Amino acid sequence: MTAPAQPIQQPKARVAAWRPAFIRSVPLRLSVFLICFLWSVPTLGLLVTSVRDPKNITTSGWWTALLHPFEANQWTLSNYQTVIASDGMGNAFVNSLIVTIPSVAIPITIAAFAAYAFAWIPFRGRGILFTIVVALLVVPIQMSLIPILQIYSAGNLYGSYLGIWLAHTGFGLPLAIFLLYNFISQLPRDIFESAAIDGATHLQVFMRLVLPLSIPAIGAMAIFQFLWVWNDLLVALVFLGPGADVRVLPVALYNLIGSRGGSWHLLTAGAFITMIVPLIVFLLLQRAFVRGILAGSVKS
C-alpha cells in the first residue's frame, strides 16, 4: 500500500513562510548598516580631506566635496607629495616596516614553540611557569619602561632597531603564548600518539603537524601583533627616540601635529598614510582573523 502523495507547496505559501523571518531580521540588518556607516564616516572624511585643496578645506566641510565629485579643481595629490617629501613620512613609512615585520615574526615564532611545549611536553614546573606567563598579561608595560631603558642605555641598545625588536618581542610574548596555547592544547591527542609510535621527535611533530594545523591561530595573532606594533607610539618614542633616521609613522605623525597644527590638509594626508597599511592588512585577512579568534574556542 503506497503512502498518499504530499501536497505540493504553492509559491504563495512559500512566500508567506519566508516573509515573517525577513521582517524579524529587518531591525538587525538596519542596526548592522547603521554601525558600519557610523564606523566608516570618519575614515571617509579623512580620505576626502586629504585630497582636497587647502583653500577648500578652510571654507567648507568635507561632505560638500561629495556633492560635486567631478570638479577636478577641488582634488589634489600635492598634500601627499608634501608630506612624503618634506615632512619625512616616506622615510618613516620604511622605518615602520623595518620595525614591524621582525617585531611580528620573532614573538610569533617563539610563542609557537613555547605554546607547544606548555601543551604537550611534560616537564617539571610547567604549570607554575605557564601561570607566570599568563600573569604577565595584567602587568602594564608602563611599569617596565624605565628599568628596560636603563638596561638599554648601559648596553648601547637605545635608538637601535634591535632594541625595539626585543622590546616588542617581550611585550607581545605573553598574549601570543596564551592564545596559541589555547589552540594547540585542543588538538587531538591521537595525532601525537601516532607520531610518537612512528618515532617522530618533538621538533618533527611541531614542524610537520602542529604548525600546519595552527595556521589560523598564528594568522590571527600575527594580525594582532602587526596592528599593535604598527600603531605604537609609546614604545617607539621611548626606545627609538624622535630622531629622524629611526622615526616611525606614529612618531612622525605626532611631530607633524606639533609643527603643522593648523595644516589640516597635511595632517589628514599623514594620518591616512599611517592607517592605510593596517586597513589593507585587516581587509585582506579578516576571514583568517575571524577563524583564528574562533579557533580553539570549542573543544572538539
> Grid coordinates representing 255?
611631530
Amino acid at 128: I
Amino acid at 66: L
> Grid coordinates representing 186?
585542543
Share of the chain above pLDDT 90, in %: 17
Round the CA-based radius of gyration of the chain to a whole number and report it: 26
DSSP 143-178: HHHHHHHHHHHHTT-TTSHHHHHHHHHHHHHHHHHH
pLDDT at 2 over 60: no
Q: What is the pLDDT of residues 259-281, one digit of tens each?
A: 666 677 888 888 888 888 888 88
Distances (CA, A) of 117 to 172, 180, 181, 210: 18, 11, 9, 11
Closest among 219, 213, 215, 208 to 187, alpha carbons compared: 213
pLDDT of residue 7: 53
Q: What is the pLDDT of residues 203-260, one digit of tens each?
A: 888 988 898 888 888 888 888 899 899 999 889 988 988 776 888 988 888 888 766 6
Residues 114-129 have a mean pLDDT of 90
Q: Contact at 8 Å (CB) between 226 and 294? A: no
pTM over 0.75: yes
Per-residue pLDDT band at 299 (split at 50, 70, 90): very low
pLDDT of residue 96: 92
Q: What is the pLDDT of residues 161-193, one digit of tens each?
A: 999 999 999 999 999 999 899 888 888 888 888
Residues 1-16 have a mean pLDDT of 52
Q: What are the CB-based long-range contacts (under 8 Å, 24+) for 102-106?
A: 102/161, 102/165, 103/164, 103/165, 103/168, 103/169, 103/172, 103/225, 103/229, 104/222, 104/225, 104/226, 104/229, 106/165, 106/169
Q: Give the architecture-level CATH label for domain 79-294.
A: Orthogonal Bundle (1.10)
Q: Contact at 8 Å (CB) between 265 and 81? A: no
Q: Is 184 exposed, middle or buried (0-12, 13-18, 19+ CB in 10 A)?
A: buried
Q: How many residues does the chain have?
A: 300
Task: Give the residue extent of every domain in the chain.
Answer: 15-76, 79-294
Share of the chain above pLDDT 70, in %: 85
